[in-house]
Amino acid sequence: MQVFKSGTEWQKSWLQALKTNKTIGFVPTMGALHKGHLELIRASKKSTDLTVVSIFVNPIQFTNQEDFEKYPVLTSQDLELLQKEKVDFVFLPSQESIYPEKPILNFNFGNLERVLEGEFRPGHFSGVGIIVSKLFNIIRPNIAFFGQKDLQQVAIIKKVVQDLSFPLKLHIVPTIREKDGLALSSRNMRLSVQEREKALILYNSLEFAKNELLTNKDWLAVRKQMMLSFEAEPLAKLEYFELVHPETFQVFEEFERGKKSSICVASFIGNIRLIDNLPIIP
Ligand code: PAF
């Protein structure tokens, strides 16, 4: 496994890959790797010749300074894990090399970011759009791998790739969950034992709501019931519980069979903000 810290260092290996007709799979991460990341890496190793993983905690996508400062950084543990997974290359850039100056560019994703994550974390998706574009330009992969857990991020990145004509394919990997259903996230490691237990409210409410919809219950009534159950949990602070189109993020007021729909939730558990989503397949 080769670790490189700058685009110039990577260029040689990229040229070599190009010359030998090797395809490059890319898994961008912010580190603190968990089984969800490993699934992305395994998907990349299965479908490409060389896998590059980046580890970079991107400051411009955080809308809360404390969240950025407390974001877990576990570089040596991550590198050990990547070595075990037989990853070919790790891109580990410094903050200064990625942002010699604070970018003045701003992405505006229109309706896609007026709701849910975009509404509660203004500027977040612009930060994601910028870093992902930079990483795509540096790595120049054939396929990039992302997790479905960040459903709105996936929709945003699809737009970035389409609108800027990045010559690559996106491969989306389904959400990986703990045995009890909690979606894997690097933020889970910041939960106390009690918070970890209460964090299940996200998955449980999604499952409950999905089953209610599939037995023809009215969405707005189900949503109200779920909001009340979050209100009743002292450690939880719900931000949204919405039924949306998984690509346009149009917010639905009712569930229609045959129409692509996902339920998305974001809630604080203690001080930790968690998100999750579930597609409704009638
Ligand atoms: O999903 C993440 O971990 C980040 O948003 C990403 C795509 C690595 C960009 O910083």
Confidence label for 281 from pLDDT (cuts 50, 70 and 90): confident
Cβ(166)–Cβ(174) below 8 Å: no
The mean pLDDT value for 230-234 works out to 98
pLDDT of 186-225, one tens digit each?
A: 999 999 999 999 999 999 999 999 999 999 999 999 999 9
Q: Which of 81, 96, 99, 95 is nearest to 41 (CA)?
A: 81
What are the structural domain ranges in the chain?
Answer: 2-173, 186-276
Q: How far is the CA of 41 from the centre of ligand 1 (A)?
A: 14
Give the predicted TM-score (pTM) of the model.
0.97
CA distance 92 to 138: 12
The per-residue pLDDT for 282 is: 59
Q: Is 112 close to ligand 1, i.e. is its CB under 6 Å away?
A: no
What CATH topology corresponds to 2-173? Rossmann fold (3.40.50)
What residue's CA is closest to ligand 1, atom 9?
128
Give yes or no for residue 142 having a pLDDT over 90. Answer: yes
CA distance 254 to 258: 12
Q: What's the chain's average pLDDT?
A: 97
* Mutational test site, ligand 1, from 63, 91, 132, max ligand atoms within 8 Å of CB: 132
For strand 236-244 and strand 261-269, is the pairing parallel, antiparallel, or unpaired?
A: antiparallel
Return the CATH architecture of domain 186-276: 2-Layer Sandwich (3.30)
* Residue 135 Cα: closest atom of ligand 1: 9
Cβ(27)–Cβ(39) below 8 Å: no
Rg for the chain (alpha carbons), in Å? Answer: 19
Main-chain phi, psi angles of 263, to 5 degrees: -100, 135
Q: Is the dihedral of CA 173, 184, 25, 248 positive or negative?
A: positive
